[in-house]
Every structure is written in C-alpha cells, then in structure tokens.
C-alpha cells in the first residue's frame, strides 16, 4: 500500500522568485492569500533565514532556542509587527495579540489569573455541553438525507465552546452562522489587507480594509451587548458568580495598580479571544477529519 502523503502548498524555488513576480505579477499577488506562498524550499530547513519581500525583509526562525528567545526570553526586543495591527486592529483594537510594551504587560498581568488551571476546570462542563450538542446534530444528520459540511460543523462547535466559556450560555444556530460568516470574511479580508501592506501598498490602497471593518462591526454587534450588560451590572453593585471567563475578566485587577479593564478594553479582549480561540481549532479539526477520510490505515488505528 502506498503511504498516504497529505496535500500541501508547494513552496517557491529558492531562486527566481522575483523573476516570477515580474513575469506574472497578478498571479503572484493572488497567491498572497496564503502565508506559506512567501516561503521557499530552504525556509523549512534553515535554523534562521531571510525571506525577501518587495518592501521589507521577513526572518524565519525554526530553531527551538531561537523561537524561545524571540517569544519568551527577549520579548521586549522583538515586538509584534505593525502588520499584525494592520490585519487585526479593526476587530481587536489594542487587544493582547497586537499590543506591545507596557500596554501588553498590563494586559498580561490582568489576564493571566483568568486562565489559570483551576478556572479552566470550572468551564470544562460548559465545553462538554457544546460537544454533546454537536454529537446530537451529527446523529440527526446521520438519520437524514443531507450531508454534513464538516468545516461548518467544526466552526460551529469551536465557536460554541468559546462562546459558552466566555458568556456561560450556548451559541444558537442562527448566531453561529452569522459568527462563522463574519469571522471567515473578516479573516480573509484582513489577511489580504495585511499582505498588501507587507508588499508596500499604503493603507488606503490596500485591498480588504473596508470589508474587514464591515465584518468587524457585525462581530462586535453580536458580542458587545453581552459584555456591556454584564459590565454595567457589576459596576452597579451586582455580585458576579464567577461562572465563566467574562465574569473573571470583568472582576480581574492589575496586581500592580489595582486597575481593571474598562468597557472598550473588555470588548477588544473578548473579540480577541473569539478570533484566536475558535478559527484555528476549527481549521485543525476539519483538516484532521479530511486526512482521516483519505487515509484508511489511520482510520483503522483511531
């Protein structure tokens, strides 16, 4: 039996990249919808190296000790790129995934206790509720004539998991579809905008910006009212029961100065948690199911 090899995007050859860009510029720019399209063959084997773009240089670090230095040990000297803010700032503002310096340090101090192990145990039952509901949907589909769209189902369940852990309640089917559509459109537009900025286009000329802003508003219209309702209740003296992540975020204090997140900051952090908390998990799950469907040997081992 021939060993199954998963499909993968072909890297660019180590030479001739800019010749390709000059000869077929439209196709080259369209390829930038995939972050892997900028990488070359040697990008996957070098310890650290340079990937040249028309407007700037990108350095790829693969060696574990270099990755630890950049992300942990010497983080002050390796701030997040402005491209990250270009891509995601319309949704998350100064949220944790785009912030740097003292703003980032304060956010980390406030948020670290929110995600300690004991709180993760408290929200585990909420997560399992989302999984149980997904299994019920699959059983209904299995008994009927229609096919299941696995990518949509994985997006539904992962969005439901993050929604329940933040708000303590399930994400309805209609809201799940709106969330799925808005996040998908936002990320496609934001990535296109960020890639255009990376190759040197000014913000006003880079595609995707207007679409990203429109989709970000749809997402905030879904999430912000929930945050405001709980925030207002807390600041009017109501006691939070600590049942979910939002309760913990509202009550959390900076251990250095005692400050809390204001409403704008809470809205940004909740949007950030949604952005980082469900889409990558959904894509990974859908990809795993696809690979299993293609590989009989792996199916037999599961």
Same domain, 34 and 122: no
Same domain, 120 and 31: no
- Residue segments in the chain with a per-residue pLDDT below the cut of 70: 1, 9-43, 52-54, 117-119, 199, 203-207
Task: Provide the 3-class DSSP secondary structure of residue 76.
Answer: helix
Same domain, 73 and 216: no
Residue 85 inside a domain? The answer is: yes
Residue 3 inside a domain? The answer is: no
**In the prediction, which pLDDT does 53 show?**
67
Same domain, 119 and 28: no
Give the number of C-alpha atoms closer than 13 A to the C-alpha of residue 268, restricted to the C-beta side: 19
- Structural domain count of the chain: 2
Residue 252 inside a domain? The answer is: yes
Residue where a domain terminates, one of 78, 98, 116: 78
- Smallest Cα–Cα separation from 219: which of 173, 172, 272? 272
Same domain, 66 and 124: no
- Give the tens place of pLDDT for each residue, 42-75: 667 778 877 766 677 778 888 899 999 998 899 8
Residue where a domain terminates, one of 78, 102, 117: 78
Same domain, 35 and 96: no
Report the C-alpha gap between 230 and 189 in whole angstroms: 31
Same domain, 67 and 124: no
Q: At 43, phi and psi to the nearest 5?
A: -60, -25
Same domain, 99 and 27: no
**In the prediction, which pLDDT does 93 show?**
93
Residue where a domain terminates, one of 78, 108, 132: 78
- Percent share of the chain, pLDDT over 70: 83
Same domain, 72 and 101: no
Residue 2 inside a domain? The answer is: no
Report the C-alpha gap between 198 and 22 in whole angstroms: 17
**In the prediction, which pLDDT does 225 show?**
95
**In the prediction, which pLDDT does 36 show?**
54
CATH of the domain at 122: 1.10.630.10
Same domain, 101 and 241: yes
**In the prediction, which pLDDT does 282 show?**
87
Report the C-alpha gap between 115 and 259 in whole angstroms: 18
Same domain, 110 and 72: no
Q: At 49, phi and psi to the nearest 5?
A: -165, 175
Residue 101 inside a domain? The answer is: yes
Residue 218 inside a domain? The answer is: yes
Residues 6+ apart with CB under 8 A from 19: none
Residue 4 inside a domain? The answer is: no
Same domain, 54 and 147: no
Counting beta carbons within 10 angstroms of the beta carbon of residue 144, is it exposed (0 to 12), middle (13 to 18) or buried (19 or more)?
exposed
Residue 165 inside a domain? The answer is: yes
**In the prediction, which pLDDT does 86 show?**
84
- Give the tens place of pLDDT for each residue, 106-122: 999 999 988 875 567 77
**In the prediction, which pLDDT does 215 show?**
92
Which structural domain range is residue 40 located in? 9-78
């Amino acid at each position: 039996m021939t060993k199954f090899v998963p499909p993968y995007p072909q890297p660019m050859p180590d030479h001739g990249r800019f010749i390709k860009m000059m000869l077929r510029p439209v196709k080259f720019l369209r390829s930038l919808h995939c972050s892997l399209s900028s990488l070359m063959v040697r990008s996957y084997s070098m310890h650290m190296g340079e990937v040249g773009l028309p407007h700037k240089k990108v350095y790829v670090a693969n060696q574990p000790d270099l990755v630890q230095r950049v992300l942990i040990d010497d983080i002050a000297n390796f701030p997040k790129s402005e491209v990250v803010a270009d891509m995601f700032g319309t949704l998350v503002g100064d949220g944790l995934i785009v912030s740097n310096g003292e703003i980032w340090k304060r956010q980390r101090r406030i948020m670290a206790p929110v995600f300690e192990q004991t709180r993760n145990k408290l929200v585990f039952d909420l997560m399992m509720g989302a999984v149980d509901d997904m299994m019920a949907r699959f059983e209904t589909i299995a008994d009927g004539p229609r096919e299941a769209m696995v990518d949509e189902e994985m997006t539904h369940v992962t969005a439901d998991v993050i929604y329940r852990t933040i708000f303590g309640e399930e994400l309805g089917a209609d809201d799940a579809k709106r969330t799925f559509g808005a996040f998908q459109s936002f990320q496609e537009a934001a990535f296109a905008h960020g890639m255009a900025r990376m190759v040197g286009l000014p913000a006003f000329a880079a595609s995707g910006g207007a679409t990203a802003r429109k989709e970000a508003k749809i997402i905030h219209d879904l999430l912000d009212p929930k945050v405001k309702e709980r925030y207002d209740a807390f600041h009017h003296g109501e006691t939070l029961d600590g049942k979910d992540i939002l309760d913990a975020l509202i009550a959390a204090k900076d251990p250095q100065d005692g400050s809390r997140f204001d409403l704008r900051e809470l809205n940004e952090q909740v949007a950030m948690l949604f952005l980082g908390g469900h889409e990558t998990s959904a894509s990974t799950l859908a990809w795993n199911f696809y690979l299993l469907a293609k590989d009989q040997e792996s199916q037999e081992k599961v």
